[in-house]
Amino acid sequence: MKRLLGVALGILTAIGGFVDIGDLVTNAVVGSRFGLSLAWVVVIGVLGICLFANMSGRVAAVSGRATFEVIRERMGPRAGLANLGASFLINLMTVTAEIGGIALALQLASGVSYMLWVPFALLAVWLVIWRVKFSIMENVTGLVGLSLVVFAVALFLLKPDWGALAGQAFTPSVSGEESVGAYWYYAIALFGAAMTPYEVFFFSSGAVEEGWKVKDLVQSRINVLMGFPLGGFLSIAIAACAAVVLLPAGISVTTLSEVVLPVAQAGGQLALAVLILGIVAATFGAALETTLSSGYTLAQFFGWPWGKFRRPAAASRFHVAMMVVLLAGVAVLATGVDPILVTEYSVVFSAIALPLTYLPILIVANDPQYMGKHVNGRAVNVAGLVYLVIILVASLAAIPLMIATGAGA
Amino acid sequence: MILTDVLGSDVVDNSGQRLGEVSDVRFAVDASPGQLLSKARMVGIVVSPRTASSFLGYERRGITQPWPVAQLLRWRHRGSFLVLWEDIAVIGPREVVLRPGFTAYESTLAF
Amino acid sequence: MSKSSRSLAVVLALLAVIAGLVSGCSPRPSADTLEGPAKEVSSAVRAASLAVDLRMTDSTTASAASTAADDMLGEVEAATDKIHGFDAPTQEERTLRNDVLASFSAISRALLHARDVLTASSGEPAASSDGQARLATVQAELRTATDQLDSLMTKAGIQ
């Protein structure tokens, strides 16, 4: 019974933890502009993150090494440092976006400008990272974040033409209003949002934090294989809500206040309240994860002691790094830059940096010196290579498409 | 001197002919005992004709998966060889000069 | 040493190419350049209309609706700034640009009114006839401004 509860808890937190500001915004933007015609990208992205999260979790459980330790060891100091630089910058962008997301959601709840909420969000994130136990932090934000299921409920309440939605999803085409370039640009953005590298840094470091052993792998596999696809389903529900309400009304999403309109229309103030709670929890959880991820990547690269299982004094540089990242994120927001814009760029840059994270994981997961008999099987390797090709193509196409389409305008 | 000074520098033979770049430095942990392990002793350098980039672990013969990645990295490093410490004449700021009649050993590791 | 300076040069050259490409896409004044901002504003004013509708049926809170109106106001300001950045050499283009700008400022005004009414609607129950009347007034203003922009866009061959 207790085990079953543990499994259920794991799945639920994985669902709630899957959606962050990147998924929220990108899916709503895509839904409002392209309908469900990019739903296939979410499916590909979710399968990819399942594959690589599993792989990195297995590497962490078997070898006791988190992803960035692996990158440092396998790529050497120089290529590793370049990788660290890129990953860290993208992480910083994502931290900025998530804190902005918390503040924007609180603005929706209160009507008070998000700028005034930013310091509050910063303080809350830092306090939780400093004081709260890893497992509690994960489970609470994950479970509360689950209230984003209200998107799926809203979709049913909207009584959409299911046939038309399915038609958009299964026979994708670019509508007359939009350019083919923008379509592919957002395909890459969605892919980056689903596969953001921080999820893997966090997942593998979390495995070390929680002291996973090989026997825990089954549980983690269930969490990932059930939770992430359900999270992906939630992403598609977000896009579908936008496709049903906003697309026909000629509204293309540029702000969080537009993202919530379909849910309010479907379920009224109650649904809206649940949704805002969900957004705060999801972005807060993701802010914790990304902040920790930047601490993890830095500490793992430089060999500092890291982890929330240590007292802050015993992992001082790890904690200082996270404080600096949080302050840097807030400094970026203080310039008045639109957090939604930061979000949109962060997911595309994530897509660009994907090979840097996923190639080393794939290589080490095949290395018997790390993995013993737990090296990748043949099927996993074939899938991993297929994804490596997709990731490379997305990564190489991202910048040219960004320039050609004016960032999807 | 630190490793970064050596890695990536050009390798030439005693006549000045360019052979490649230093892509790795090999150590053996068999010198005088230290606190925990023996101290590391530098065995030699790995010279790769085309690139100073890392082997990413594929210098070991037993590592063959994922197959395309392994093939790609082997191909990139084709013709690379190990030169022992004794066969190195000068490690200069720009290039590493080898002694005449140096021996180019197989650079792959057995396990 | 020569190696790292070479890679540095490659990176710099790449950055220069990207910068050149980005700046090469600087605005050309025509209906095409007005298209982007016009569409943004058209989307923004519709979103605000929807927010007011939802507030009238008590489906959304005053905070969320006024935030939406405020955000949309920001969108319109940004679009206006973009159009100010374009120069219009011919008389025809100048006329079109000025019409679009006039339409934007009508929309801005409507959005401002909408935001104020939405913010004020927090205390009272949305069903109160007074509140409904005020919301209906700003809704009508938003609709008029939307129609004005739509006809202008049709005339300019946008859409």
DSSP string, A214-266: GGGHHHHHHHHHHHHHHHHHHHHHHHHHHHHHTTTTT----SHHHHTHHHHHH
Domain CATH for C61: 1.20.120
Is B65 strand, coil or helix? coil
Is B38 strand, coil or helix? strand
pLDDT in tens, C110-147: 999 999 999 888 766 656 778 888 889 999 999 999 99
- Inform me whether the C-beta atom of residue C66 falls under 8 Å from chain A C-beta atoms: yes
Distance from CA of C15 to the nearest CA of B (A): 23
Distance from CA of C95 to the nearest CA of A (A): 25
On whether the A15-405 domain is CATH 1.10.530.10, my answer is no
Domain-embedded: residue C2: no
The whole-angstrom separation of Cα C46 and Cα C37 is 14
Number of independent structural domains in chain B = 1
What does the pLDDT read at residue A176?
Answer: 67
- Inform me whether the C-beta atom of residue B63 falls under 8 Å from chain A C-beta atoms: yes
State the helix-helix crossing angle for A180-195 and A339-364, rounded to 10 degrees: 60
Binding partners of C (≥3 Cβ pairs within 8 A): A, B
What does the pLDDT read at residue A199?
Answer: 84
pLDDT (average), residues A146-162: 92
Q: In chain A, whose CA is at the least distance from the CA of C4? A: A78
pLDDT in tens, A354-393: 998 898 889 888 888 888 888 888 889 999 999 999 999 9
Q: In chain C, whose CA is at the least distance from the CA of A407? A: C22
Domain that includes residue B96, residue range:
3-106
Q: Are A367 and B56 in contact (CB under 8 A)?
A: no
CA dihedral C42, C47, C50, C52 (to 10 degrees): -100
Q: pLDDT grade, residue B27 (50/70/90)?
A: confident
What does the pLDDT read at residue C29?
Answer: 44
Q: Are B40 and B27 in contact (CB under 8 A)?
A: yes
Domain that includes residue C151, residue range:
28-155
Distance from CA of A76 to the nearest CA of B (A): 7
- Other beta carbons within 10 Å of A219: 15
Q: pLDDT grade, residue C22 (50/70/90)?
A: low
Q: Break chain A into its structural domains and give their ranges.
A: 15-405
The token duo for A237 is: 């529900």
- Nearest CB to C42; choose among A250, A256, A409: A250
Quick check: bond before A305 cis, omega within 30? no
Residue C26 in this model has a pLDDT that exceeds 50: no
ipTM: 0.86
User: Which residues have C-beta within 8 Å of that of residue A357, sequence separation ≥ 6?
Assistant: A52, A67, A71, A83, A87, A197, A200, A201
pLDDT in tens, A297-329: 999 998 888 888 888 888 889 999 999 999 999
pLDDT in tens, A23-57: 999 999 999 999 999 999 999 999 999 999 989 88
Number of independent structural domains in chain C = 1
Distance from CA of A369 to the nearest CA of B (A): 9
Domain CATH for B41: 2.30.30.240
Is C1–B94 a contact, with Cβ atoms under 8 angstroms apart? Answer: yes
Which of A192, A220, A223, A194 has its CA nearest to residue A208?
A: A220
Is C1–B8 a contact, with Cβ atoms under 8 angstroms apart? Answer: no
End-to-end, the C-alpha distance of chain B in Å comes to 30
Residue window 59-88, chain C: list those with CB within 8 Å of chain B: none
Is A257–C51 a contact, with Cβ atoms under 8 angstroms apart? Answer: yes
Q: What is the DSSP letter of B60?
A: B
Helix, strand counts (H, E) of chain B = 2, 7
What does the pLDDT read at residue A265?
Answer: 93
* List of chain C residues whose C-beta atoms are within 8 Å of the C-beta of residue A409: 36
Domain-embedded: residue C135: yes
CA dihedral A299, A304, A305, A308 (to 10 degrees): -20
Distance from CA of B47 to the nearest CA of C (A): 16
Domain-embedded: residue B77: yes
Is C3–B8 a contact, with Cβ atoms under 8 angstroms apart? Answer: yes
State the helix-helix crossing angle for A67-110 and A21-34, rounded to 10 degrees: 70
Radius of gyration of chain B (CA): 15
Interface mutation target, options A367, A373, A374, chain B, most CBs of B under 10 Å: A367
Q: Are A194 and A356 in contact (CB under 8 A)?
A: no
Q: Are C48 and C111 in contact (CB under 8 A)?
A: yes
Which residues of B lie inside 8 Å of C (Cβ-Cβ)? 8, 52, 94
The token duo for A104 is: 């924007």
Domain-embedded: residue C9: no
- Inform me whether the C-beta atom of residue C7 falls under 8 Å from chain B C-beta atoms: no
* List of chain C residues whose C-beta atoms are within 8 Å of the C-beta of residue A261: 47, 50-51, 54, 60, 68
